[in-house]
């Protein structure tokens, strides 16, 4: 419901934030692609449902878009070991659900360069 009032919403969907057995995964840290695909795919579905609901006022529907969603991606070793493959998996999952932007965070401010594409 907040989406119409913000430019972007960045769900902090770090795999380390999910408990053991979430969605049937024994350790969500070991399935970063699947987890991000599931949770951000659900967010995309919710945005589309809001936009297309017959009860959503037109002025609200015209202000919401999946382009407002930005995945906040984990790039730190908490609950698991995060390196190139794990960071790339989260980025790929974001793109695969139809999102075109994301943010990366590490508390050390040291990022996995091998997971990023140089421009």
Which pLDDT belongs to residue 1?
73
Alpha carbon distance 57, 90 (integer Å): 34
The enclosing H or E element of 39 equals helix 32-52
Which pLDDT belongs to residue 23?
97
pTM: 0.91
Which pLDDT belongs to residue 74?
97
Please report, in tens digits, the pLDDT of each residue of the chain (119 residues total): 788 889 999 999 999 999 999 999 999 999 999 999 999 999 999 999 888 888 878 887 888 899 999 999 999 998 888 999 999 999 999 999 999 999 999 999 999 999 998 77
Which pLDDT belongs to residue 101?
94
Alpha carbon distance 10, 49 (integer Å): 18
Compute CA distances 14 → 18, 22, 51, whole Å: 8, 13, 26
Which pLDDT belongs to residue 80?
82
């Amino acid at each position: 419901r907040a989406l119409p009032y913000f430019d972007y919403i960045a769900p902090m969907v770090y795999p380390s934030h999910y408990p053991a057995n979430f969605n049937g995964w024994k350790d969500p840290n070991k399935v970063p692609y699947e987890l991000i695909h599931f949770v951000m795919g659900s967010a995309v579905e919710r945005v589309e449902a809001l936009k297309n609901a017959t009860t959503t006022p037109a002025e609200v529907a015209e202000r919401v878009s999946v382009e407002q969603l930005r995945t906040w991606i984990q790039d730190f070793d908490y609950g698991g070991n995060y390196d190139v493959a794990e960071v790339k998996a989260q980025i790929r999952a974001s793109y695969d659900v139809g999102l075109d932007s994301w943010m990366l965070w590490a508390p050390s401010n040291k990022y996995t360069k091998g997971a990023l594409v140089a421009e």
